[in-house]
């Protein structure tokens, strides 16, 4: 279970207690008020997922209704109540109650809609900010205004929320200015473009993608008395805040982060610091080791800085979620704790560390630091027991995906038939422990797969391995550039990669939906790629 929260000197909030009690509301009187307002407003059926988590008689409200899944179920309720909150105190009170009970869900759905460009989202978030007075919504409102390119509204919102104390402003500090810096890599090469070879509907081409900044600059620092945001911001006393190296997405908007980078100034606007946060005596920061792609480029990549500084990571390891069980053998091979007791999960949104060791990473989406990637590829193969060199031609692999509701293949039977006829093995990486994934990839000479975190595994491949990446044709408009980052990783380890552009479901209109969309793979494109493969 990791190091428990009883190790932290901080009170447990009522909202956290509500969540830890598996949905049994602490403030049942408030829930009864919410039920009364929902009945009056015709929203009882919309709130079935909430009633089902409550004790009787609330759990029996709308007994015949099926509870919705995911988080989007709550948006119609928020939209309705926000539209009436200015003129109806009961609706405003209902918003406050929903926020107290379900803030993580409310924040997530609001952020998702904002990222997808849904109209009307900013108005609902502004109403939530005004009725709840919570900094989370003030931050997300400014995010939405930035995304909508409304600079005057951005400035007004920042001034308003800073003046009433809901937001604070801090200077942005570069890692080399930190007291406690142990090591930092040389300044990286500035690259203006990355090149992606494409097999598209109009034939072969090389798509040049602009890089607006260089990769990150790995470093290692030992800091005292710092406060870490769960989503990638480090508050350093009497200095400001550090963002570089804390996340691989530091320069882009984040769904759940509680801070924002000012669009034109070297400052950070964030929720005010408070004293009622959990305290940890010492730790080594290690990012997000449960989500696979983040585990590699936002966690393991930190080993480069630790190695270069001659300062191995020491437990406890501070993470945002526990590593998956399938990572344990690799973690042990890399000198990291192999069991949960060696890790501490960041509680709630912030944790204060009396002593924190931070290793910065090189990959800053979409820019890639080649040294860190090559280091990690070699280190991972050694930890997995993969011998140097390759015997024979190597295996041909098709990295299939289990049904997960995103990034599937609409015509998989046809694609799989073409590949298996050409001698490809169909494999599901999620069925293997990570050390076995590394050994499999290192033994391959050709790999085909859909864009995503599974393809980040190809940093373990041998130089010269041929790669076919399947991605929607709309990848050219994406920001952040996830496909650009993939090809930067491939280039760093010397792979021969090509992208085959695919059609996708028409319902996937926003960039986020396109990123997760199911693909219709052009068989002609696969055949052309296979023909090159057979001809050498």
Mapping DSSP onto H, E and C, the string for 320-377 reads CCCCCHHHHHHHHHCCCCCCHHHEEECCCCEEEEEEEEEECCCCECCECCHHHHHHHH
Instruction: For residue 15, count other CB atoms closer than 10 A to its CB.
Output: 17
Most confidently modeled range among 201-205, 452-456, 458-462, 481-485: 458-462
Whole-angstrom distance, CA of residue 305 vs CA of residue 112: 34
List pLDDT tens digits, range 164-223: 999 998 988 999 999 999 999 999 888 788 899 998 767 788 999 888 788 889 999 999
The neighbouring-strand residues paired with 219 are 184
Q: Would the CA dihedral through 373, 379, 385, 390 be positive or negative?
A: positive
Contact predicate 355/282, CB 8 Å: yes
Residues 6+ apart with CB under 8 A from 115: 147, 253, 255, 510, 511, 512
Q: 290: pLDDT confidence band, cut at 50, 70 and 90?
A: confident
Contact predicate 434/329, CB 8 Å: yes
Q: 533: pLDDT confidence band, cut at 50, 70 and 90?
A: low
CATH classification (class only), 384-535? alpha beta
pLDDT of residue 283: 95
Q: 265: pLDDT confidence band, cut at 50, 70 and 90?
A: low
Q: What mean pLDDT is predicted for residues 431-443?
A: 95
Residues 6+ apart with CB under 8 A from 55: 24, 25, 28
Count the residues in the chain. 536
Q: What mean pLDDT is predicted for residues 477-503?
A: 91
Whole-angstrom distance, CA of residue 62 vs CA of residue 79: 21
Q: What region does 180 belong to: left with phi over 0, alpha with psi -120 to 50, or beta?
A: left
Contact predicate 485/363, CB 8 Å: yes
* Residue 374 token pair: 């090559």
List C-alpha distances in Å: 349 to 18, 138, 217, 352: 16, 16, 26, 11
Considering only residues 117 and 139, tell me which one the structure prediction assigns the higher pLDDT: 139
Q: What is the pTM of this model?
A: 0.83
pLDDT of residue 282: 95
* Residue 9 token pair: 């000197």
Contact predicate 52/75, CB 8 Å: no
The neighbouring-strand residues paired with 280 are 353
Answer whether residue 70 shows pLDDT above 80. no
Question: Percent of the chain beyond pLDDT 70?
Answer: 86
Q: What b/e sequence results for 173-182 when a residue is b if at least 16 CB atoms lie within 10 Å of its CB, and e otherwise?
A: bebeebeebb
Domain locations in the chain as residue ranges: 5-166, 175-186+210-365, 384-535
pLDDT mean across residues, the chain: 85
Helices and strands (DSSP H and E) totals, the chain: 18, 19
Give 385's DSSP letter: T
pLDDT of residue 507: 56
Q: Which helix (H) or strand (E) holds 110?
A: helix 89-115
Q: What are the phi and psi torsion angles at 160 (to 5°)?
A: -65, -50
Whole-angstrom distance, CA of residue 137 vs CA of residue 127: 9
Answer whether residue 426 shows pLDDT above 60. yes
Whole-angstrom distance, CA of residue 367 vs CA of residue 369: 7
Contact predicate 131/92, CB 8 Å: yes
Whole-angstrom distance, CA of residue 496 vs CA of residue 481: 19
List pLDDT tens digits, range 367-415: 899 999 999 999 999 999 987 666 556 899 999 988 766 778 888 899 9
Whole-angstrom distance, CA of residue 429 vs CA of residue 422: 20
pLDDT of residue 427: 96
Answer whether residue 337 shows pLDDT above 90. yes
pLDDT of residue 224: 96
Considering only residues 506 and 188, tell me which one the structure prediction assigns the higher pLDDT: 188
Lowest mean pLDDT among 138-152, 163-177, 412-426, 469-483: 138-152
Lowest mean pLDDT among 213-217, 294-298, 320-324, 507-511: 507-511
Q: 469: pLDDT confidence band, cut at 50, 70 and 90?
A: very high
Give 297's DSSP letter: I
Q: 23: pLDDT confidence band, cut at 50, 70 and 90?
A: very low
- Bridge-based pairing of strands 425-427 and 444-450 is unpaired
Q: 11: pLDDT confidence band, cut at 50, 70 and 90?
A: very low
Considering only residues 336 and 120, tell me which one the structure prediction assigns the higher pLDDT: 336
Considering only residues 87 and 120, tell me which one the structure prediction assigns the higher pLDDT: 87
Answer whether residue 26 shows pLDDT above 80. no
- Bridge-based pairing of strands 279-285 and 219-229 is unpaired
CA trace torsion 21, 22, 27, 33 (10° rounding): -170
List C-alpha distances in Å: 206 to 194, 196, 347, 500, 524: 10, 5, 45, 12, 19
The neighbouring-strand residues paired with 194 are 209
Whole-angstrom distance, CA of residue 527 vs CA of residue 430: 27
- Bridge-based pairing of strands 343-345 and 317-319 is parallel
List C-alpha distances in Å: 268 to 90, 137, 169: 36, 16, 6
- Residue 358's nearest CA partner among 271, 284, 276 is 284
Q: What are the phi and psi torsion angles at 480 (to 5°)?
A: -75, 160
* Residue 444 token pair: 């391959």
Give 298's DSSP letter: I
pLDDT of residue 263: 56
The neighbouring-strand residues paired with 364 are 367
Contact predicate 197/498, CB 8 Å: yes
């Amino acid at each position: 279970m990791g190091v428990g929260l009883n190790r932290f000197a901080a009170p447990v909030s009522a909202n956290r207690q509500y969540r830890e009690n598996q949905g049994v509301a602490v403030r049942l009187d408030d829930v009864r008020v919410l039920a009364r307002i929902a009945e009056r407003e015709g929203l009882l059926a919309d709130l079935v997922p909430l009633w089902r988590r409550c004790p009787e008689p609330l759990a029996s409200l709308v007994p015949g209704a099926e509870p919705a899944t995911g988080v989007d179920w709550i948006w119609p309720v928020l939209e309705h109540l926000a539209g009436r909150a200015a003129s109806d105190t009961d609706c405003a009170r209902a918003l406050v109650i929903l926020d107290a009970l379900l803030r993580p869900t409310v924040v997530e759905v609001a952020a998702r809609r904002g990222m997808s460009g849904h109209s009307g989202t900013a108005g609902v978030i502004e109403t939530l900010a005004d009725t709840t007075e919570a900094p989370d919504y003030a931050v997300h409102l400014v995010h939405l205004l930035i995304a909508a390119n409304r600079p005057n509204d951005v400035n007004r919102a920042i001034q308003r929320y800073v003046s009433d104390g809901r937001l604070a402003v801090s200077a942005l500090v570069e890692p080399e200015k930190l007291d406690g810096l142990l090591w930092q890599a040389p300044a990286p090469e500035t690259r203006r473009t990355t090149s992606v070879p494409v097999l598209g509907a109009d034939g072969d081409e090389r798509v040049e993608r602009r890089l607006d900044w260089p990769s990150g600059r790995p470093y290692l620092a030992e800091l005292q008395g710092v406060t870490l945001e769960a989503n990638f911001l480090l508050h350093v006393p009497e200095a400001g805040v550090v963002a570089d190296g804390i996340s691989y997405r530091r320069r882009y908007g984040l769904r759940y982060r509680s801070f924002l980078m000012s669009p034109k100034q070297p400052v950070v606007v964030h929720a005010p610091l408070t004293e009622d946060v959990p305290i940890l005596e010492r730790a080594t920061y290690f990012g997000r080791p449960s989500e696979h792609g983040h585990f590699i480029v936002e966690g393991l990549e930190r080993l480069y800085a630790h190695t270069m500084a001659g300062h191995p990571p020491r437990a406890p390891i501070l993470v945002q979620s526990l590593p998956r069980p399938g990572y344990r053998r690799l973690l042990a091979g890399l000198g990291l704790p192999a069991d949960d007791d060696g890790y501490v999960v960041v509680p709630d949104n912030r944790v204060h560390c009396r002593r924190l060791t931070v290793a910065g990473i090189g990959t800053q989406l979409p820019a890639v630091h080649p040294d860190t990637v090559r280091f990690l590829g070699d280190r991972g193969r050694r930890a997995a027991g993969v011998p140097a060199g390759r015997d024979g031609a190597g295996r041909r692999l098709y990295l299939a995906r289990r049904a997960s509701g995103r990034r599937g293949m609409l015509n998989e039977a046809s694609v799989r038939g073409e590949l298996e006829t050409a001698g490809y093995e169909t494999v599901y990486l999620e069925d293997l422990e990570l050390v076995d994934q590394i050994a499999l990839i290192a033994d391959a000479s050709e790999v085909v797969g859909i864009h995503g975190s599974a393809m980040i595994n190809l940093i373990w491949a041998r130089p010269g391995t041929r790669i076919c990446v399947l991605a929607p044709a709309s990848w050219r408009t994406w920001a952040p550039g996830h496909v650009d980052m993939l090809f930067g990783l491939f280039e760093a380890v010397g792979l021969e990669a090509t992208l085959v552009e695919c059609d996708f479901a028409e319902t996937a209109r926003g960039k986020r939906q396109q990123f997760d969309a199911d693909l219709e793979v052009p068989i002609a494109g696969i055949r052309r790629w296979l023909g090159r493969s057979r001809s050498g």
